[in-house]
């Protein structure tokens, strides 16, 4: 075979099957007159025999066959592993390994290069793959509700020192207003204070920056009548017709709230760092802004309330279903307590019905009962006490309030009508359905929260979330379009299915 023609088949070289090519270097044909086309740097035993065949392949093959015959192998006894030949072979092999990458010389004097060893350092692709695995593991951890939810609760926890500092500031302002009322007010001398809301129910999240305090006035002999069809609003008719805010036998909420607001403004006029915020339509509170050294401003709602000592109105029948949850005895104890009315209305204030303007009606409030339930929320009296079983009812409410808050921040216009009171109402309904403390085991936080969200989604999609105390009062009725309800339900469902990424973003 001519040396100027590249072999096209294995037969032309007559290569045995056990030859292992470790490194091949091609050189120009013009530099290799009648020489092999490539150099085999490391071979098996028979390969080294063929490496010496030069330009006479048949003779070399004969020599190789002779050296590999049984007779030849018999004449050449095996050397022990520690023999001089074995040592020389090992030294030669070591030399060849050290020579890789630096080049070597062919028998005919032509220099060739040998491929360097592959580095044991990780390649860029390997490093990238490792980085992707780490990111995937981190993403999986961040999307695991069993890790995300407890971590989120920890972030929402309010430090005792911070709560104590804010509470102390609020208590001082409230005490000064109450003192002013008793000493200077003509119509509000008998007011008492009732602390309600999330700050006093131990379900406040993030910061102790919002407080609700009701200034109550006792009303012992009044008649309460339902106003409208919802059941939440009512008109108040005192037996005393000489009451300063009674007109045509009806206690006018708007007039009474206006006078109360003026008294509060006078009470805080000389207080440093305390200001009265602008009145909100239909709001029963006088909102105060307090600047303090807490690192955040404090909002304090001073709410006017009527304390009514009589049986609960008939439109509350069918609500407040806690018999299987907290027991019939507890329910009776709550119903023997007074209920409260606050000057709140919906819609156009001057719109009349049966001669009564909307802004002169009152809304029934059970905030004191809600506070009592949340403070003693278990079937067992020791639930969530140090010596008792820990449940996750309040934890679920905190998470739902937080989820609603962050979604409203992302969609302020579309979700502005949804309040944290809806979250509390959904929890109360869920607790009256899943009544056992074991249904709310702290170890099952993730599944309990998922069930509460499922309940809330159903309320949103059906457009029905009854007031826990007044079945005819639908919190998702007027003012909540189907589009906004579906949007909120879809957003909550998306968070549930993806491990609540909004809590970790």
Mind listing the pLDDT tens digit for each residue in 64-96? Answer: 444 444 444 444 444 444 444 444 444 444 444
Q: What percent of the chain has pLDDT over 70?
A: 72
Q: Is the pLDDT of residue 276 over 50?
A: yes
The count of structural domains within the chain is 3
Residue range 269-294: mean pLDDT, rounded: 93
Asked if 297 and 289 count as a contact pair (C-beta separation under 8 A), the reply is yes
Same domain, 325 and 404: no
For residue 38, the SS3 value is: strand
Residue 300 tokens, joined: 């304090």
Residue range 234-259: mean pLDDT, rounded: 92
Dihedral pair phi/psi, residue 429, rounded to 5°: -65, -40
**140 in a structural domain:** yes
Judged by average pLDDT, the poorest of 74-83, 210-219, 228-237, 285-294 is 74-83
Q: Is the pLDDT of residue 36 over 50?
A: no
**Could you tell me the sign of the dihedral formed by the alpha carbons of 191, 365, 168, 272, in that order?**
negative
What is the structure's pLDDT at 164? 95
In whole numbers, what is the pLDDT of the chain averaged over residues? 80
**306 in a structural domain:** yes
What is the structure's pLDDT at 414? 95
The CA distance from 392 to 394, in Å, is 6
End position of a domain, from candidates 320, 351, 372: 372
Same domain, 70 and 157: no
Same domain, 13 and 151: no
Q: Is the pLDDT of residue 327 over 50?
A: yes
Same domain, 211 and 294: yes
Total length of the chain:
505
Asked if 257 and 304 count as a contact pair (C-beta separation under 8 A), the reply is yes
Q: Is the pLDDT of residue 152 over 50?
A: yes
Same domain, 363 and 414: no
Same domain, 349 and 385: no
The DSSP call for residue 478 is T
Residue 228's pLDDT band (cuts 50, 70, 90): confident
Same domain, 342 and 399: no
pLDDT tens column, 120-142: 555 666 656 666 666 555 555 56
Domain carrying residue 27: 1-74
Q: 106-112: list long-range contacts, CB under 8 Å, 24+ apart.
A: 106/39, 108/32, 108/35, 110/27, 110/31, 110/32, 110/35, 112/25, 112/27, 112/39
Same domain, 358 and 421: no
For residue 358, the SS3 value is: helix
**84 in a structural domain:** no
Task: Give the distance from CA 389 to its chain's centroid.
Answer: 25
Residue range 105-109: mean pLDDT, rounded: 45
Which pTM was predicted?
0.72
Residue 29 tokens, joined: 């044909």
**96 in a structural domain:** no
Asked if 331 and 488 count as a contact pair (C-beta separation under 8 A), the reply is no
Radius of gyration of the chain (CA): 43
Q: Dihedral of the CA atoms 178, 181, 183, 188 (nearest 10)?
A: -130
Q: Cα separations (Å) of 447 from 358, 383, 496?
A: 43, 19, 11
Q: Is the pLDDT of residue 323 over 50?
A: yes
- Interacting residues of 119 by C-beta distance below 8 A, sequence separation 6+: none
Residue whose tokens read 């909550």: 492
């Amino acid at each position: 075979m001519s040396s100027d023609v590249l072999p096209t088949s294995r037969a032309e070289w007559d290569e045995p099957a056990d030859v292992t090519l470790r490194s091949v270097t091609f050189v120009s044909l013009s530099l290799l007159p009648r020489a092999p086309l490539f150099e085999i740097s490391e071979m098996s035993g028979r390969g080294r025999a063929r490496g010496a065949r030069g330009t006479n392949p048949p003779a070399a093959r004969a020599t190789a066959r002779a050296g590999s015959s049984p007779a030849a192998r018999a004449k050449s006894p095996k050397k022990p592993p520690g023999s001089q030949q074995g040592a020389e072979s090992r030294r030669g092999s070591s030399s060849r390994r050290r020579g890789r990458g630096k080049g070597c010389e062919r028998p005919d004097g032509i220099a060739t290069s040998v491929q360097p060893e592959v580095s044991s350092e990780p390649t860029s692709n390997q490093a990238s793959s490792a980085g992707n695995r780490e990111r995937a593991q981190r993403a999986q951890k961040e999307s695991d509700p069993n890790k995300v939810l407890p971590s989120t609760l920890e972030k929402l926890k309010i430090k005792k020192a911070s709560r104590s500092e804010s509470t102390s500031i609020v208590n001082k302002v409230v005490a000064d207003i109450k003192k002013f009322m008793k000493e200077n007010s003509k119509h509000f001398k008998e007011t008492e204070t009732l602390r309600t809301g999330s700050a006093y129910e131990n379900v406040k999240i993030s910061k102790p920056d919002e407080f609700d305090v009701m200034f109550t006035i006792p009303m012992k002999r009044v008649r309460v009548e339902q106003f409208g069809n919802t059941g939440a609003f009512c008109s108040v008719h005192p037996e005393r017709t000489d009451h300063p805010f009674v007109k045509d036998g009806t206690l006018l909420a708007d007039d009474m709230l206006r006078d109360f607001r003026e008294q509060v403004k006078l009470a805080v006029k000389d207080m440093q760092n305390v200001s009265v915020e602008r009145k909100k339509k239909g709001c029963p509170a006088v909102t105060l802004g307090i600047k303090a050294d807490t690192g955040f401003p404090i909002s304090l709602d001073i709410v006017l309330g009527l304390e009514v000592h009589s049986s609960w109105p008939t439109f509350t029948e069918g609500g407040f279903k806690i018999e299987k949850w907290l027991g019939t005895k507890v329910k009776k104890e709550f119903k023997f307590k007074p209920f409260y009315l606050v000057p709140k209305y919906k819609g156009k204030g001057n719109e009349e019905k049966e001669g009564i303007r909307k802004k002169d009606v009152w809304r029934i409030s059970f905030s004191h009962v809600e506070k009592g339930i949340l403070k003693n929320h278990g079937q067992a009296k020791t639930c969530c006490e140090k010596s008792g079983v820990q449940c996750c009812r309040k934890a679920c409410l905190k998470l739902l309030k937080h989820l609603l808050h962050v979604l409203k921040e992302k969609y302020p216009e579309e979700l502005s009508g949804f309040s944290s009171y809806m979250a509390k109402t959904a929890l109360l309904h869920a607790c009256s359905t899943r009544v056992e403390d074991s249904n709310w085991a702290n170890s099952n936080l993730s599944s309990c929260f998922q069930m509460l969200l499922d309940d809330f989604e159903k309320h949103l999609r059906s457009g029905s979330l009854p007031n826990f105390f007044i079945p005819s009062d639908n919190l998702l009725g007027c003012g909540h379009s189907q589009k906004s309800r579906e949007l909120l339900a879809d957003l909550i469902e998306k968070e549930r299915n993806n491990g609540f990424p909004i809590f970790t973003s």
